[in-house]
């Protein structure tokens, strides 16, 4: 069966800091974050053509030496059962792999780490680790123990990682962000992403003004009490 690849960005310098990478987008997601910018991949992936992996493979072979790695994004890639097979095929090309994930599938994450199929994990922490709040932000049922397990797996692994939160004014307060930072105690890196009201899954988000940059920076400074590094992105 073909891998559910519904998007491919051949060149990016911003999705993996310090690397020249390309991005493979897999379809489907178990969350419905209203601020999501991948609504077609999440809600109606069947409307997009599937890109054969062989085409991407050929491109990567041609660009050998020019591309450092492949970012696997989505949607939520860890929902795809054959993800290890896809990553093995990418590994065979001698490339590094970064995984973007929402952390809801710790078993898959464990397998990828054990099999040395990822070099960097970027895990979204959508809200403080409290069931009601998390469900409210992602508009789906969430098993908080799974998110905690993924956090532990990532922090106890040997791969590079970052945790990140999109700071959406209507959904998260600055004390919420500090609660998240507290639950990531000792983490290498926590990134606060500025909310962008353009092209969101929930069109009502379009009128929502992002937090002032100064406020985000102040919050990042306070969060450094709990994590080794906290920065603001997208400002
Ligand atoms: S932001 Fe990520 S986790 Fe949320 S709906 Fe979009 S793809 Fe899924």
Pocket flag, ligand 1, residue 40 (CB < 6 Å): no
Task: Please identify which residue in the block is written with the tokens 């974050």.
Answer: 33
Residue of 28, 38, 104, 127 with the most ligand 1 atoms within 8 Å of its CB, for mutation: 38
Pair of tokens at residue 49: 């053509």
Question: Domain residues for 89?
Answer: 7-174
* Cβ neighbourhood burial of 209 (10 Å; 0-12, 13-18, 19+): exposed
Residue-level pLDDT at 149: 98
Cα distance between residue 200 and residue 103, in whole Å: 21
CA distance 29 to 19: 26
* Ligand 1 lined by 74 (C-beta under 6 Å): yes
Tell me the best of 23, 27, 36 to mutate to test the pocket of ligand 1, counting ligand atoms within 8 Å of each CB and taking the most: 36
pLDDT value for 1? 78
Q: What are phi and psi of 202, to 5 degrees?
A: -95, 110
126-181 residue pLDDT tens: 999 999 999 999 999 999 999 999 999 999 999 999 999 999 999 999 999 999 99
> Percentage of the chain with pLDDT > 90?
99
CB 20 within 8 A of CB 43: no
Strand partners, 97: 70
70 beta partners: 22, 97
For residue 76, what are its two tokens? 């939520």
pLDDT value for 67: 97
Does a structural domain hold residue 141? yes
Mean pLDDT of 62-67: 95
Report the share of the chain in percent with pLDDT over 70.
100
In a domain? residue 123 = yes
Beta bridge partners of 7: 25
Q: What is the pLDDT of residues 177-200, one digit of tens each?
A: 999 999 999 999 999 999 999 999
In a domain, 105, yes or no: yes
The structure tokens listed for 137 are 């932000």
**Average of per-residue pLDDT values in the chain:** 97
DSSP helix/strand/coil, 38: coil
**Which pLDDT belongs to residue 63?**
94
CA 169 – CA 188 distance, rounded (Å): 25
Our mutation pick for probing the ligand 1 site, out of 24, 29, 150, 234, counting the most ligand atoms within 8 A of Cβ, is 29
Index of the ligand 1 atom closest to the CA of residue 39: 6
Is residue 180 domain-resident?
A: no
Q: Give the chain's domain count.
A: 1
Q: Domain containing 154 — which CATH number?
A: 3.20.20.70
Asked, for residue 221, whether it belongs to a domain, the answer is no
**Is the CB of 33 inside a 6 Å radius of any atom of ligand 1?**
yes
227 assigned to some structural domain: no
Q: Are 177 and 150 in contact (CB under 8 A)?
A: no
232 within ligand 1 shell (Cβ under 6 A) = no
* Burial zone of 92 (CB within 10 Å; 0-12 exposed, 13-18 middle, 19+ buried): exposed
Query: What does the alpha-carbon distance between residue 67 and residue 74 come to, in Å, rounded to a whole number?
Result: 20
Residue 12 belongs to some domain of the structure? yes
Distance, CA of 223 to CA of 235 (rounded, Å): 18
pLDDT at residue 52, rounded to an integer: 97
What is the whole-number distance in angstroms between the Cα of residue 32 and the centre of ligand 1?
Answer: 6
User: Is the CB–ligand 1 distance for residue 153 below 6 Å?
Assistant: no
Domain membership flag for residue 197: no
Q: Is the CB of 87 under 6 A from ligand 1?
A: no
Cβ pair 232, 194 in contact under 8 A: yes
* 193 CB within 6 A, ligand 1: no
Residue 150 Cβ inside 6 Å of ligand 1? The answer reads: no
């Amino acid at each position: 069966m073909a891998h559910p690849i519904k998007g491919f960005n051949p060149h990016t310098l911003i999705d993996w800091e310090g690397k020249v990478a390309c991005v493979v987008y897999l379809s489907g997601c178990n969350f419905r974050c209203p601020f999501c910018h991948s609504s077609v991949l999440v809600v109606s992936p069947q409307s997009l053509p599937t890109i054969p992996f062989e085409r991407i493979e050929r491109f990567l072979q041609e660009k050998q030496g020019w591309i450092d790695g492949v970012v696997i994004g989505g949607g939520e890639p860890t929902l795809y059962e054959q993800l290890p097979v896809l990553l093995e095929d990418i590994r065979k090309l001698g490339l590094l792999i970064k995984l973007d994930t929402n952390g809801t599938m710790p078993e898959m994450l464990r397998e990828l780490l054990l099999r040395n199929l990822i070099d960097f994990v970027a895990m979204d922490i959508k809200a403080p680790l409290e069931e009601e709040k998390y469900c409210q932000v992602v508009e789906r049922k969430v098993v908080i123990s799974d998110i905690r397990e993924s956090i532990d797996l990532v922090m106890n692994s040997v791969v590079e990682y970052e945790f990140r939160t999109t700071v959406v004014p209507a959904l998260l307060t600055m004390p919420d962000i500090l609660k998240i930072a507290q639950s990531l105690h000792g983490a290498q890196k926590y990134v606060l992403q500025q909310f962008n009201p353009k092209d969101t899954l929930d069109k009502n988000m379009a009128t929502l003004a992002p937090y002032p940059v100064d406020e985000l920076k102040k919050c990042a400074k306070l969060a450094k009490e709990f994590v080794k590094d906290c920065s603001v992105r997208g400002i």
